[in-house]
Amino acid sequence: MRIAQVAPLYESVPPKLYGGTERIVSYLTEELVRRGHDVTLYAAGDSQTRARLVPGSPSALRLSGLTPEVYHILMLEDVFRDAGQYDIVHFHVDFLHFPLSSRNTIPQVTTMHGRLDLPDLVPLFKRFSEMPLVSISDSQRRPLPWANWVGTVYHGLPADLYRASEEPGEYLAFLGRISPEKRPDRAIEIAKRTGIPLKIAAKVDKVDREYFEREIEPLLDTSLIEFIGEIGEHEKNEFIGGALAMLFPVDWPEPFGLVMIESFACGTPVVAFRCGSVPEVMRDGVSGFVVESIDEAVDAVHRIDSLDRRVCRAYFDERFTVERMAEDYLEVYEALQHANSVERAKVRYLEPAAADYAASAV
């Protein structure tokens, strides 16, 4: 199958540090290539891939000082210039391409990677209600249940990306991004109430710098809490696998939560707050505990040694590998290809009939 993957340009594919969407695009692209498909990747120019790379920008844009909108528009122009070459085009750039896609008959699909509960999205998705969409959890769909959902595909990681650690560590972990919805303050409170050290490996975006300095930095006033900052992919296995438990104290409609399945892969159970996709991704009492309050989280941490880390890893192997993710997407691609072929056949069938009717009317 000839497949185009269209990635955001903010990070390279895969990203050097933080960048969940770009990581998933990378894993999917490389697995599709491994399976023998002809894949073209539209992404930042410093991306690394075995697919054919069409650079949409010289390099990743997040820290470049360049104007992201300009390069995304230029990339989309390239995509639609080449669209006839592909059996399907898979977009990962939110809704930026909708006006062009709605005027094009190529088989195409869009994975929505972010939150969808923002009121401004309703008129947009109603205007482009024909766009085929994939959700990364069923929970993510709830604000827009009437949209044209053609599947839910959970994220997947390469099975050999992380090795599982069977022995629990002696600290709690928080991984990802410092922001109000990720609630690092909850993680700090849980650590202080359990008396177990907490290591925070998280980036601070410019938009969250004030929140970090005002709300979080003052809480780092104890040797119990260690703020490490952003870490790279090669550091994650040791950081996650060496933890007693991963804290995932989110306070927003989490679309998926890549940190959770990274932890499962390392054999490290997760204490996660019941928000968004958490009940879908977690298996309470197997991969960790799902909680609804600080008190429940503290109790869960005290019970974490009742869980078998080997079973946690087995749960990852059962549900969240890149092989399973690629198979799910290929099913979506084939269904859309078939639907597109049927629709084109209908048009070819109806056009002569319409012409005959017009002739007879004369």
Neighbour tally for 2: CB within 10 Å? 12
- 260 and 303 inside one domain: yes
Q: Tell whether 166 is covered by a domain.
A: no
- 253 and 341 inside one domain: no
Q: Tell whether 211 is covered by a domain.
A: yes
The residue type at 117: D
pLDDT tens, residue by residue, 173-186: 999 899 999 999 99
pLDDT at residue 341 in the model: 59
- 313 and 255 inside one domain: yes
Contact 203, 229 (CB under 8 A): yes
The residue type at 137: S
CA nearest to 97, candidates 127, 72, 122: 72
Q: Tell whether 127 is covered by a domain.
A: yes
**CA angle (174 as vertex; 168, 179 as ends), nearest 5:** 170
Domain around 315 = 172-319
Provide the strand spans (E) within 80-232: 88-91, 108-111, 133-135, 149-152, 172-177, 198-203, 225-227
Q: Tell whether 100 is covered by a domain.
A: yes
Q: 186 CB contacts (<8 Å, ≥6 apart)?
A: 247, 249, 251, 273, 294, 297
- 330 and 306 inside one domain: no
pLDDT tens, residue by residue, 303-338: 999 999 999 999 999 999 999 999 999 999 999 988
Phi, psi of 223 (to 5 degrees): -70, -10
Band of residue 345 on the pLDDT scale cut at 50, 70, 90: very low
pLDDT at residue 62 in the model: 85
For residue 352, pLDDT beyond 50: no
pLDDT at residue 349 in the model: 40
CATH code for position 248: 3.40.50.2000
- 138 and 181 inside one domain: no
Neighbour tally for 334: CB within 10 Å? 14
Q: Tell whether 51 is covered by a domain.
A: yes
pLDDT tens, residue by residue, 64-102: 889 999 999 999 999 999 999 999 999 999 999 999 999
Domain count, the chain: 2
334 membership: H or E segment, kind and range? helix 322-361
Query: Which residues are paired to 38 by β-bridges?
Result: 2
Compute the distance between CA of residue 151 and CA of residue 336 in angstroms, rounded to an integer: 11
- 130 and 256 inside one domain: no
Contact 187, 174 (CB under 8 A): yes
Compute the distance between CA of residue 13 and CA of residue 40 in angstroms, rounded to an integer: 13
- 135 and 177 inside one domain: no
Sign of the alpha-carbon torsion through 211, 214, 219, 221: positive
Residue corresponding to tokens 């820290």: 63
pTM of the model: 0.90
Band of residue 17 on the pLDDT scale cut at 50, 70, 90: confident
- 61 and 118 inside one domain: yes
Phi, psi of 16 (to 5 degrees): -70, -35
Q: Tell whether 270 is covered by a domain.
A: yes
- 303 and 210 inside one domain: yes
- 74 and 120 inside one domain: yes
